[in-house]
Structure formats: C-alpha cells, structure tokens
Structure 1
C-alpha cells in the first residue's frame, strides 16, 4: 500500500516511533470502566496497531482524511464500519456509542482545544482521554492555579477530569516533524456529575475572568455583572489565575446570589 501524505491543512504529523505509540496506548488506565475506545485521526495506524491488540476494548477509528480512511480500510479489513470517515468535531456520540468510552489520539494541533471542548460536551460518556498535544497546550491543561499557563481550559477540564501530564515528545519522531515540542496527557473522569452551582453561569464567570486576566475579578467581571452588587468577598480582589475550580464554584454562587 502506498503511504498517506501528511496534509498541512489538516495539521497532520504522523507519529513514527512505535515505542512511543505503545507507551501512549498503555497509558489507558481505566479500561475496566468502558468497553469501547475511539481513536481520533489514526493517520496510518501507528497507535491503531497497539489498540487493536487490546482484546478488552472494541476499537473505533475516525478520520476526516479520505486518503487515510482508504489506507486504513485496506490495512484493517476486519474493522469494518468501526472505521469512520467523518469530522470528530461533528460526531454525535450517542448515535454510535451506547455507553461509556475512552478517546485516544495523536491529535491535530490546529484543533486540539476544539477536541477538548468536544470531550467536555460529552463528559457523561467519555471516561478517559489519552492524547498527544502541543506541549504548551498539554501544560496548560494540567497546570494548577497561580501560573500564567493556567487558564480557561485548565479550569473547565479540571472541573470534570483529573488531568495528568505524562511525558514529553521531541519533534524528530514525527513525519513531518512539527516545529514545536509535544506532550501526552491523560484525562480521567472524576466523580462530579454536576457542579454545585449554575453551570452555565460558571462557564460565563470563568471566561469573563480570564478574558481580562490582568484585572482583578471585580473589574474583569464588571463587563457582565454589576460591580456594585458583587459585595466585598476577598476573592474578587484576586486575578482569575489564582482561583481553583472550587473557588470559581463559590464565586459563581456569590454572583448568582447578587444578581
């Protein structure tokens, strides 16, 4: 079979190191909680080779690239309709997966944040995620309060998942090599089914706080809430990057009570 050509507009950088591929697949640690796993952007199947050896999991693959889809269809004829030629970001999980699942992939860096928000939208089904990201994005996801890297994505992910930075990956193990370093992280669904606040308002508060992250929360939130009604809670005199998930829940309830 002829090899698939990496396409720049799809953000494709094919992993070529099989040891790293095996390490990524073996980073799935919660497979006792789900029986199906979805690989996003399998390319030429370097992760798929190891995924398909996991007999406890039914492996699905989704790739928007028709060339990759045709290549994988020939390489794995037994996979059948579990190989999907579609856009992951448009996928309706409930149409395909009846219950819990894992998600894994060497994710295209140009849509990595969108992939994570798609996971968040389907957090009731997605138990675990193991993925390769641009290193800066991976660090941002796992970062704790108090640093410049900590931001909107950090808070949203950590509200519903345990986020672990697993290991870094150099550009030379990809074809073509990306211009940035990469890293693998793992998300494991926590026990939070619903935050102890108005979740829609929580998202508004977090976004508003970080959209003007150099300002105190009192000033940053004044764009959507009346500053005079906020009260004198000391949290309001901090910047957004100083607050953890529980703090943002408390702040959301404070804002809710004064609206």
Structure 2
C-alpha cells in the first residue's frame, strides 16, 4: 500500500520507531477492567498494530480521509470500527454506551482541545495514554508549585491520576517535529464530583491563572471579593502554588463570602 502523506494543517507527524510504539501500547493498562479503546489519529497504524496484539476492543478515529482509506485496506476486520470524523466534534454516545480508553499520538495543534473534550466525557473515559508535545505533557503532569503547572494541570488532576512516562525525540517521526514529545498516562480517580460548586471552581482556576504572576487577590478581583475575603491569606499566593484541594477550598470560601 502507498504511504499516507503527512499533512501540516492536521499536525501529522507519523511515528516510525516500533519500539516506542510498542511501549505506548503496553502502557494501556485497561484501568477499571475496561476493554474498549479508541485510538485518535492512527495515521498508518504503527501504534494500532501493537494495540491489536493486546486484543483490545479497538476503534479508530481519524479526520484525514487518506488515512481512513489506508486503514480500511490495512485492517478489513476493523471496517465497522474505523470512524471518519473529527474527534473534537464526535458524539461518543453513538459508539460507546460503556466506559472506554483513549490512546494515540495526538496532533500538537489540538492536544489541549482533546483534553477539554476528555474532561467533558470524564464519566466515560477511564484512561488516556498518549503522546503529545513534551511541554504540554509536562504541564499536564506537573505538580503545583512548578512554573509549568497551569489551568489544564488543575482541571485534569482533579479527576485523573497522571504519570509522565517518557520523552521521545523528533528523530523517530516522519516528518520530524521541531520539538521533543512526551508520553503520559491518565487514570480516572474516584472523584465523581468535586466538593464545591464545580462551575465556580472552573471559573476560579481560569481567572487565577489569567495573570499568573500576580497574587490571587489581584487575579480574582473581577469576581467581586467581599471585604472579609480580601483579607484571606490564601489570596497572598499565586495560582501555581495551589493544588486541586486548595482550589476547592478557595472556591468554597469565595461562595461562602458572597452569602454572608
């Protein structure tokens, strides 16, 4: 079969190192006994081959029409499980009525959007094993107090246990990207709902990091802090200094101060 041409506008960089592909596939643990796996952007199936060896109930989704044609020829037995479509807009209820795992070599240009979609589907997505730009991978896995810690770190760590697994050099891709890649694994934790107003929590986190060099007192000013809340010592900190539990506490304090 002819090779699929990598398309810059889709952020495609095809992995060529079989050992790394095998390591990524082996990192899929089947968290909570889940057997269904959705691979995002399989391209020419380098990772797919190793996922199939592990006998997952595998589905593939790719927005690239050329890849879809290639995959249908390469994997005739997966014909009914190869989805031509945009992961970001896809209604997973059409395919998965039970929990599933996400795996893949994520396009750099939409990796953050993919994770916001994962958050929206967090009650179904039990595990994510993926490769993406190293900087983004480190940010997601970063503990609080680190400069790379940010909005996505807090949101994902609220609902997932996250591990940074390995760094992958540009030389193992065709075409090679200009940056290193990182592989991470997320496993759904036991938190069904945060112990606070979740809508307000997301707002507080976003606002807190909007001016990350400033203290939370300044960053959260637009939320309308009460006089008593303005004196709270938590607001002397910067957003990057708070872990998930601290953001939950801060959210509850803010909501309580408005009710006083």
TM-score (norm 2): 0.97
Q: How many pairs are equivalent?
A: 258
* Residue equivalent to 1:53: 53
Partner of 1:257: 256
Where has structure 1 moved over 3 Å in runs of 4 or more? none
Q: 2:3 is matched with which residue?
A: 3
Deviation of 1:233 (Å): 2.3
Kindly indicate whether the alpha-carbon contact (under 8 Å) linking 2:225 and 2:254 is maintained by their aligned counterparts in 1: no
Shift of 1:122: 0.3
Q: Distance in 1 between matches of 2:254 and 2:33?
A: 37
SS of 2:24 mapped into structure 1: helix
- Provide the aligned C-alpha RMSD in A: 1.0
Q: Distance in 1 between matches of 2:217 and 2:251?
A: 13
Alignment deviations for residues 15-70 of structure 1 (CA, whole Å, 9 cap, x no partner): 00011000000001235521200000000000000111222x20000000000000
Which residues of 2 match residues 1-259 of structure 1 at below 5 A?
A: 1-31=1-31, 33-55=33-55, 57-226=56-225, 228=227, 230-259=229-258
Range with bigger deviation, 28-37 or 157-166: 28-37
Separation (CA, whole Å) in 1 of partners of 2:47 and 2:31: 16
Contact 2:131–2:183 (CA under 8 A) maintained in structure 1: yes
CA–CA distance in structure 2, aligned partners of residues 90 and 70 of structure 1: 21
Q: Tell me, what secondary structure is at the counterpart of 2:77?
A: helix
Segments of 5+ residues of structure 2 without an aligned counterpart are none
CA spacing shift, 1:211–1:201, aligned 2, 3 Å: same
Q: Deviations over 1:179-236 (max 9, x none)?
A: 0000100000000000000000000000000001111111100122235352532111
Contact 1:168 1:182 in 2 (8 A): yes
Gap runs ≥5 in structure 1: none
Q: How big is the shift at 1:148?
A: 1.1
TM-score by length of 1: 0.97
Counterpart CA distance in 1 for 2:242 and 2:82 is 42
CA distance in 1, matches of 2:212, 2:166: 29
Distance 2:32 2:250 in 1: 36
